[in-house]
Structure 1
C-alpha cells in the first residue's frame, strides 16, 4: 500500500525562508516542510540526536540548514544530513509535491 499524501498548506502560506509543520496521520510521523529559495523540502520533524522537534529551531535560509534548539545540532534541509555534532545520523527526508496550489508531503518509508 502506498502512503497517502498529506496536505500541509497552500503555496501562498509557505514563502521562501519559511517552514510549516504537519502530521502524517497514516504513519504518525511529524513532518516539517521548508521553502528554500522557492524549492520545497520535507524532513521528519525530529532531531536524530534527541527526540525533539526541529521546527522549534531556527531555519537558516541563507545556508539551507535547520538548527535544533535543544543542543545545537544542525541539518541540511535539502537531504536531512547532519552538519555538526552532537547529531551524526541524518533525519528522514520525504517527498513533497505541489498540486492545485496546495503543498503535500508523505512518509514514504
Structure 2
C-alpha cells in the first residue's frame, strides 16, 4: 500500500473536509474527534464536492446540495437522497503528517462482503 503525504493534521478544519488530489482522484479528508478519515470528494448522489460544499455534524458528513448524510468513519449513507455509500481511502497519521493511500480506496460494504463479515 503506497501512502502519499497530503497535509498536516493541524491543517484539517474541525467542521469540514479538506480536498486533496492525486492524479485524477479527489479525496475529502475529515478530522473527527482527533481521528482522520478520507472519502471520495464527490457526493454519490449529485456529484457535489463534500470538501467544498459539505460540512461535518459530529462524525456525519452533510452534503449541502440536497442534505444527504454519510458516516465519515464508514462511508455508509445515513440519510437520503444518496443511496450509494462513499468510497473510503486508508489514512495514516504520523505526528503532524497525514497520509492517504489513493490507489487503495474501497467501499465498506464490499470489504465486509469480501471478508465474509455480516453488516451490523
For Structure 1 versus Structure 2, the TM-score category normalised by the shorter chain is 0.7 to 0.9
Q: Which runs of no fewer than 5 residues in structure 2 stay unpaired?
A: 106-120
Aligned residue runs from structure 1 range 35-46, under 5 A: 35-46=31-42
**Given the two structures, how large is their TM-score scaled by the length of structure 2?**
0.76
**The one of 93, 96, 109 aligned to 1:98:** 93
1:44 Cα deviation (Å)?
0.4
Greater share of residues in helix: 2
Equivalent pairs, count: 103
**Given the two structures, how large is their TM-score scaled by the length of structure 1?**
0.83
**Inter-partner Cα distance in structure 1 for 2:5 and 2:46:** 27
Sort the Cα spacing of 1:84 and 1:15 in 2 relative to 1 into closer, same or farther, 3 A. Answer: closer
**Inter-partner Cα distance in structure 2 for 1:12 and 1:52:** 25
Q: Which residue of 1 aligns with 2:25?
A: 29
Q: Which runs of no fewer than 5 residues in structure 1 stay unpaired?
A: none
Q: Is the 8 A contact 1:17 1:37 kept in 2?
A: no
The DSSP-based 3-state class of the residue aligned with 2:10 is helix
**Inter-partner Cα distance in structure 2 for 1:11 and 1:68:** 23
Q: Which residue of 2 aligns with 1:60?
A: 57
